Chains A and B, each alone.
Chain A
Amino acid sequence: GEDVEQSLFLSVREGDSSVINCTYTDSSSTYLYWYKQEPGAGLQLLTYIFSNMDMKQDQRLTVLLNKKDKHLSLRIADTQTGDSAIYFCAERGRAGNTGKLIFGQGTTLQVKP
């Protein structure tokens, strides 16, 4: 079935780059997403990538997609204390962009000053 796996915790120093990794199982996924959850709040979409792309850059965020290995990563350049949050990787289910969104367990990013 569909499954998304992430490491649970990452700690970095302010100013360093953070790389959060994710693996997924559904090779038919057409959309892959990164969501951010700040304490006490719901999830917010950070960025997404179509499966026919291998990289997407948006300011400090870089998303890399390796379809062969079903591996997705999120790089945050110049990480700030405000980036401390839980980051969720997600894929659409088998119905393409109309299916349910399957989330990973979330990676807690801790940014130390």
Chain B
Amino acid sequence: DARVTQTPRHKVTEMGQEVTMRCQPILGHNTVFWYRQTMMQGLELLAYFRNRAPLDDSGMPKDRFSAEMPDATLATLKIQPSEPRDSAVYFCASEKLEANTGELFFGEGSRLTVL
């Protein structure tokens, strides 16, 4: 059945290392969101794309984070260099805008731990 797929599910890395998280949105969905979830801040929107074009990345620390959609089937979120405060669960979600329900379909998340 159709679902949003995220890799890796878990990542433990050391401070200063580069981290890349990947997301495969549901086929035919034209809007992709990246959210970060922590106990302290809750769910924060980092960036989102429509038809592969970035619409809003104001929630993303620009100096170390970057988000791209190289093609319609792949969205990436990269952190370079990573810091302990980046430890969180990162969720990707996709939406078919024409469905007009506003329903976002979430992946299971990538849990990042930066030591």
Contacts and interface: CB of A to CB of B under 8 A. Distances in A.
B97 interface: yes
Contact of A100 (B45, B100, B107): B45
Nearest to B43: A103
A3 B50 CA distance: 23
Nearest to A48: B102
Contact of B33 (A45, A97, A101): A101
Given A100-B45, A101-B33, A45 B103 contact: yes
Nearest to A98: B97
Contacts of A88: 43
Contacts of B4: 42
A interface residue count range (under 10 / 10 to 19 / 20 to 34 / 35 or more): 20 to 34
Interface in B6-27: none
A17 B94 CA distance: 32
Nearest to B92: A42
B68 interface: no
A105 interface: yes
A96 to B, nearest CB: 9
Given A33-B102, A44-B106, A48-B101, A104 B42 contact: yes
B29 to A, nearest CB: 14
A102 interface: yes
Interface string B86-101: 0000010100010011
B91 A100 contact: no
Contacts of A105: 42-43
Given A88-B43, A106-B42, A43 B102 contact: no
B42 A45 contact: no
A75 B33 CA distance: 28
A9 to B, nearest CB: 13
A97 B106 CA distance: 18
A49 B48 CA distance: 23
A42 B107 contact: yes
B102 A92 contact: yes
Interface of A: 31, 33, 35, 40-45, 48, 88, 92, 97-98, 100-106
